[in-house]
Amino acid sequence: MTDQDTQFLGVNYRQDPRSLPPGICAEAVNARFTNGVAEQRRGMVATNWTRGAGGAYHNVYQPKGAAVFCDPNGVESIVVASGDGKVYATTPNNTAREVLMPAGETVTGDVKFVQCFDTLVMLRGADHAPLALRSFNLGFEVIETEDNTVTGVDTENPTDGTEAIPNASEATFFTNRLLVVNGRDEIAASDYLNYTRYQPVFSSFRINQGNSGALVAIHPVDDNTLAVFKSDSVYLVSNVTGDLSAMKLDELTRNYGCAAAGSITKVGADIYFLSRRGVSSISVTAQGHIQGVDVPLSADIQPLIDRIDWTRASTARGIYAHNRLYLAVPLSTEAAQKQYDFGYLTHDSGHITHDTGDLIVTYATEVAGNNAVLVYDFLTQKWAGVDVATGLSVKEWLYVQLSGTRRLCFMGNDGFIYLYDDPELCGFSDIRKHVVDDTGFDDYFSDYEIAFMVKTRAYGGSDVSVKQFNRVGFGVATSNATLTVTASGNDSYNDDA
């Protein structure tokens, strides 16, 4: 009797390892399965793109937001709001430069950047007016209402009654309008081709006013339909065209909502997002119908979902790259959740440690943020498990043009921009700034090993009766690696690594 895996496709944390089919692993850390084998992920590589002109590496301090901005000349820059109250701009392999701000204006909290035409709007929350960046020569400016490009009686809002776009934390640019989340239930729509103003009476609409959920985010579904996410429900707004008079509101589901605006990720025609039940999705059928999917995409990794710290879940960030969904999340370190399937969690002096006996993974939590990345592979249609590493703390994902193609990067909470999991530019180790002590970094980069772990299914053949295997074989290819293999019997499988 034989039992074997001819290939590995992904993981399933939810089912008992004894019931898993061939090709499915019980758990994995820092793993990829795209090519039918279990491989270590590529590394994260710290860049010097946030280095200041004076040579200081820590030019960006506790970033509050980041985005890629395409200026009127088609040149892309990474714009970062820093915890020192300033905004910086940089490009790959260059130093960061400070962007001018209006007198007396600073960054005091998290911001959201939204590109409107060739202008970058910075939303600074309910207590601060948004600012606009048209060119780096001018810097950010206070947004003054402007007349519409088309004038006369047929233009939109030709007479008085418009106001400047409201203070907000979340917005999206859609059908040549800036749509702003304005309070718990209202969406404010700017004038057509004019992001500077809106008409409060005729150009704002409410989403299920009075229910307990608050508006979280707005995201396009197709050319004239919006998905509107509340904390406990999802709605569709269709016919978002022309003067908005034909708009129609429909409830998609009230069984779940969105936990993090930054987690919303569009992949083809479908949308994925973090909800309290896991990674949920909205799909568009072949007939063009839009529907919520009842079963969460994350059903197979529910034990990982259960470990998310929901008090910080609003920081979660998602992006689609390399045919994968990368979802950065804050994993909890509460005492009740320290037990982990392949080991134990300990939390001490700002670090989390996974200790499996043979594998120890330590990663930093000294800065608030997302300390793990859940990875779904659309080619295998399976989850690859979880990425953890020392220094992995994602503030924002960035898709940056570099060396002839777009590369996956992230703005780290430590103030550095990292390349991540790139098949060409990232090796098989993590490269980070060397930490001198608890106060900062020295002036060189260091390589750090990536702790790669795969726990297979239980092998029992097609017969569930007690049996004895005479031989176990497996194939492995390594490059200067330290490899540990642990075999567990039937009674101890769930206790060993």
Of 413, 441, 395, the closest CA to residue 57 belongs to: 441
- What's the number of CA atoms in the CB half-sphere (13 Å) around residue 289? 6
> Are residues 432 and 440 in contact, defined by beta-carbon separation less than 8 angstroms?
no
Give the gyration radius of the chain's Cα atoms: 25
Residues 323-339: b if buried by 16+ CB within 10 A, e if exposed: ebbbbbbbbbbeeeeee
Q: State residue 1's pLDDT score.
A: 65
For each of the chain's 497 residues, which pLDDT tens digit applies?
678 899 999 999 999 998 999 999 999 999 999 999 999 999 999 998 988 755 555 568 789 999 999 998 889 999 999 999 999 999 999 989 999 999 999 999 999 999 999 999 999 999 999 999 999 999 999 999 988 876 555 566 655 568 999 999 999 999 999 999 999 999 999 999 999 999 887 788 888 766 779 999 999 999 999 999 999 999 999 999 888 888 999 999 999 999 999 999 999 999 999 999 999 999 988 677 899 899 999 999 999 999 999 999 999 999 999 999 999 999 986 422 333 333 333 333 344 444 444 344 444 444 458 999 999 999 999 999 999 998 899 999 999 999 999 999 999 998 899 999 999 999 999 998 765 555 455 557 788 899 999 999 988 876 767 777 677 777 777 777 777 888 776 655 554 43
Distance, CA of 74 to CA of 72 (rounded, Å): 6
Contacts of 428 (CB under 8 A, 6+ apart): 40, 42, 43, 450, 479
> Are residues 221 and 236 in contact, defined by beta-carbon separation less than 8 angstroms?
yes
Three-state SS annotation for the chain: CCCCCCCCCEECCCCCHHHCCCCEECEEECEECCCCCCEECCCEEECCCCCECCCCCCCCCCCCEEEEEECCCCCEEEEEECCCCCEEEECCCCCEEEECCCCCCCCCCCCEEEEECCEEEEECECCCCCEEECCCCCCEEECCCCCCCCCCCCCCCCCCCCEECCCECCEEEECCEEEEEECCCEEEEEECCEEEEECCCCCEEECCCCCCCCEEEEEEEECCEEEEEECCCEEEEECCCCCCCCCEEEEEECCCCCCCHHHCEEECCEEEEEECCEEEEEEECCCCCEEECCCCHHHHHHHHHCCECCCCHHHCEEEEECCEEEEEECECCCHHHCEECCEEEEEECCEEEEECCCCEEEEECCCCCECEEEEEECCCCEEEEEECCCCCCEEEEEEEEECCEEEEEEEECCCCEEEECCCCCCCCEEEEEEEEECCEEEEEEEEEECCCEEECCCCCCCCCCCCCCCCCCCCCCCCCCCCCCCCCCCCCHHHCC
> Are residues 251 and 262 in contact, defined by beta-carbon separation less than 8 angstroms?
no
**Residues found in the chain:** 497
Alpha carbon 207 to its chain's center: 25
Q: State residue 440's pLDDT score.
A: 54
Q: State residue 157's pLDDT score.
A: 62
Q: State residue 3's pLDDT score.
A: 84
> Are residues 26 and 356 in contact, defined by beta-carbon separation less than 8 angstroms?
no
> Are residues 163 and 145 in contact, defined by beta-carbon separation less than 8 angstroms?
yes
